Structure 1
Amino acid sequence: MIAQIHVWSDYVCPFCLIADEMIERAITDRPDIEVVHHAHELRPRPTPTLRPEDPYLPDIWDRAVYPMARHHQVPMRLPTISPQPYTELAFKGAQYAAEQGRAHAYHRRVMTAFFREDLDIGDRAVLARLAEEAGLDPAAYAAALDDQEYAERHRQALAESARMNITVVPTIVIGTRRINGVATEGVIRRALQEAAAA
């Protein structure tokens, strides 16, 4: 029986990449675990996105992101794209990727592209290339970005996030346990054990 880890995240949240890495390590020998990714836009349109040349991002990275990333040995760096991209388009693509059975590969590719390769994940051409690298047909993916069906699915995903009262990303749900923020490998494994015993 496949057990699930549900994760609410945003592609421009550095703590979400760290959480992803912790989950990957915790389930490396667990083919019976499925990770299900859910959308939560930190700054949906028309809210302005952040700029790396302003004081906030370098400060939070120096005080919190880099120390946590080093502690958990997760390579990443503050992206230089300014302003930071909106993630609505990438999330629409995620709906298409899920339909094609490539949701996890797509999620990982988009997340690492932003925080390890400094790629603009708000750019359609960049997203199509990443989708292809995640095993998707780039032309079909590009068409999906303009398909209202996937836009509606994304709206429904955001509505679900609101119903779940998601206010922090990452938020990780395993069984009945809800973890706000990054969870260590040990915490994830224990939550999986508790869920299996319930």
Structure 2
Amino acid sequence: MQKVTVNMVSDVVCPWCIVGYQRLQEAIKTLDDIEVDIKFHPFELNPNMPEEGQNLREHIMEKYGIGAEQSAQNRARLVEAGKDVGFAFNFDDDSRMQNTFKAHQLIHFAAEKGLEEQMKLSLFSAYFTDGKDINDNAVLVKLAAGAGLDKSQASEVLESGKYASVVREEETLWMQRGIQSVPTFVIGNQGVAGAQEPATLASFIKEAASQ
């Protein structure tokens, strides 16, 4: 059995990141003789997002210079893409873009306990499906416990910011490697940007295994 590591650079408020992850899972199912290990790496779409966040529709229109109609079309396209991979996006007029720096610190802590995938998926669902504020410590601690982490340790991680500098360094490292958008999958020595189709991801994984 060959083993390939897929490094996934992503943010938990990036809808195409969860679509990309689900497509990666579909790709993995087609690989009989290759074991895939997924490692998650932090990227903040909006590192300067204020603590209280911003209305999602306003944020998207401002950031990408699009109108309300195009924004609504993009949301509809995402909802369909989510359905195709078994993930529920529940957008409404009150949905907010949120600061994710604390969430990334929690994922780093979870990685040390071998629970980063559970933590990451829990954050995606909390934000996109359940409309939770994933910049709220109480919400984050509850999600951490649900992912199998110790509640008091998770709380201490968030209160102390003990992993803040580590996360910042890792974000900087991936940007210095040329990653400017997410999701980006680094498979072998190749960077694959975007929520690619399962067949495309599978072919990159096979190529990395053959090397």
Superposition pairs for residues 82-93 of structure 1, below 5 Å? 83-93=96-106
Superposition pairs for residues 70-89 of structure 1, below 5 Å? 70-78=83-91, 83-89=96-102
Give the superposition deviation at 1:93: 0.8
**Match of residue 177 from structure 1:** 190
**Match of residue 39 from structure 1:** 42
Is 1:103–2:106 an aligned residue pair? no
**Quick check: 1:52–1:58 contact (8 Å CA) kept in 2?**
no
**Match of residue 66 from structure 1:** 79
Give the superposition deviation at 1:177: 2.4
**Quick check: 1:81–1:118 contact (8 Å CA) kept in 2?**
no
1:107-135 deviation per Cα after TM superposition (whole angstroms, max 9, x unaligned): 11111111111111111111111111111
Q: 1:113 to 1:148 in 2, by over 3 A?
A: closer
The residue identity in structure 2 corresponding to 1:183 is Q
- Secondary structure of the residue aligned to 1:44 is coil
Q: How many residues align?
A: 197
The residue identity in structure 2 corresponding to 1:39 is P
Give the superposition deviation at 1:83: 3.8
Give the superposition deviation at 1:26: 2.0
Unmatched 5+ stretches in structure 2:
62-70
- Pick one of 174, 187, 190 that aligns with 1:161: 174
Is 1:115–2:116 an aligned residue pair? no
Distance 2:97 2:4 in 1: 35
**Quick check: 2:144–2:150 contact (8 Å CA) kept in 1?**
yes
The residue identity in structure 2 corresponding to 1:43 is N
Distance 2:185 2:159 in 1: 30
Give the superposition deviation at 1:82: 5.1
Q: 1:80 to 1:108 in 2, by over 3 A?
A: farther
The residue identity in structure 1 corresponding to 2:15 is P
**Quick check: 2:10–2:182 contact (8 Å CA) kept in 1?**
yes
Q: 1:46 to 1:107 in 2, by over 3 A?
A: closer
TM-score normalised to the size of structure 1?
A: 0.88
**Quick check: 1:79–1:118 contact (8 Å CA) kept in 2?**
no
Give the superposition deviation at 1:71: 4.2
Give the superposition deviation at 1:27: 2.0
Unmatched 5+ stretches in structure 1:
none
**Match of residue 150 from structure 1:** 163
Give the superposition deviation at 1:192: 0.9
Is 1:127–2:127 an aligned residue pair? no
**Quick check: 1:81–1:120 contact (8 Å CA) kept in 2?**
no
What RMSD over aligned residues (CA atoms) do the two structures have, in Å? 2.3
**Quick check: 1:19–1:170 contact (8 Å CA) kept in 2?**
yes
Superposition pairs for residues 14-29 of structure 1, below 5 Å? 14-28=15-29
